[in-house]
Chain A
């Protein structure tokens, strides 16, 4: 345990920087405020510094487990079954038009 880093105390050895948090927020589609970036950077550094302990475990020859149950390829018959109606599927939509979800533009405007 003595070889664990102490990221809080050592300036510059942070597990995660404010700039990294800003980049991850962009990848996560979260428009974080400046205040949140300040606050989260410190908190995430503590959390990531702590969970990094998993690297202490010698596990080179251990297979990963993604799931507790030993199941693979659960199949079902290719049968038609009732689903939601168009009205039901659109019932929670923030905006709908002509029986479809209306969304903001996804392409740049033509120049």
Chain B
């Protein structure tokens, strides 16, 4: 029974709990058992909150027994990225500097999950403070891709994607600053969505780059992602960048499965050199499939997208160097060298040296450099202008088409260790995902097959204008249904047994 329960979708699990066919405790225990069986090899979790999860599940079962109404995801287990605060539950952001820290408050995302009766199983592994594309920058060791344990699960949210792909949880929360939800989804054969910037509250998310960060859903199906999206999205007065407007009806859109008449743009700039042939082949086939389904696929030109990566790697470190200044060993987290003789500044420098990993240090230094008075105009100022030009490219593209499509990432999952000491090579994994963060667009990655090169999952990215998240779910749901019909199952069902 346990194995069967972990293979149900979130929608199926919620329906079974609501109908009394299974209890929330049963499904929660089945997932805890699955974690106990496989996570030693996958290492998706940094902390499993067994008692808290079972208590939350019991509360759902009691509400149901009392005849109280249940939300659309009540009793469904979920894995929470370790950058989202949860009161009393360790939150490390994959960093030594926050080892052992237990937040005294819930993020708005966490509060909404609790109120919806979603059962949080624990906290997932990630690159330190969400900087990386492989989880190898976690201070607690990497996560392994369930498709091939010697390969990366993507990053920064590799733990969340791997937990979902390894059937340790049907749902997970990720955060996406430059692709940290979508790239892990692509390389693990799962679904990941970066909502419109401002669509989901950032209150209680430990900030990396405040103008880019956005939390969103990870799931095995488009409908499950939509259900989770609708639970966590919506205006929050505690986040001044939260959009005060109704959330698009993503659940209805996911059920539409109809793209006839939809205009889809292929971004000319995404493809060619640096892309694996197998990734490009599956991408071209996806375009042909959409045409078969009745969509119109055209090429669009976004000339400034070539500058998105360099602009991002100036803007992100700049915001990061400022945001991570709060980790100074004074009010929470690690403190090193406080022997009564050293000054506060010396203790700060020793604490940060001991508490941060190499990638975090590199980005803090780049950000400090880019914001220095002599370089500000040439680097940060110029990057902000490029950001304007990228937003204008998007506006021109969306005047012609409803959504854009591209490969999610240029390659399939690369081997652990391959790029960890080559920062520029690691950064290229985000080539196609970064423009959406710079302009605030909604974007999704859905599986589009296994690469003929290496048999590993390939992700297909859709990009919609801000506040048109429903278009992603409409086209993503249609593509998923068409592939399921062609293959006879979801791509994730081809993942090897662990």
Question: Which residues of A line the B interface, CB within 8 A?
Answer: 16, 20-21, 24-33, 36, 39-40, 43-44, 46-48, 50-57, 59, 62-69, 71, 74, 76, 84, 88-89, 91-95, 101, 103-106, 108
Contacts and interface: CB of A to CB of B under 8 A. Distances in A.
Contacts, number: 180
Contacts of A74: 240-241
A48 B366 contact: yes
Task: Name B's interface SS.
Answer: helix
23 contacts: A16-B369, A20-B369, A27-B368, A28-B364, A30-B349, A30-B365, A36-B361, A40-B361, A40-B362, A46-B424, A48-B366, A50-B310, A50-B424, A51-B313, A51-B366, A51-B383, A54-B383, A55-B378, A64-B384, A65-B391, A69-B440, A94-B333, A95-B335
Contacts of A20: 369
A20 to B, nearest CB: 8
Nearest to A59: B385
Task: Name A's interface SS.
Answer: loop
A59 B377 CA distance: 12
A6 to B, nearest CB: 14
A31 B57 CA distance: 46
B349 A95 contact: no
B140 interface: no
A66 B322 CA distance: 14
A44 B391 contact: no
A47 B330 contact: no
Nearest to A64: B384
B381 A40 contact: no
Nearest to A63: B388
Contacts of B307: 53-54, 56-57
Contacts of A51: 309-311, 313-314, 366, 379, 383
The 6 closest A-B pairs by CB, nearest first: A68-B440, A64-B384, A92-B332, A94-B335, A59-B385, A88-B104
Contacts of B347: 104
A106 B344 contact: yes
A28 B371 CA distance: 12
A67 B315 CA distance: 11
Contact of A104 (B309, B338, B366): B338
B424 A94 contact: no
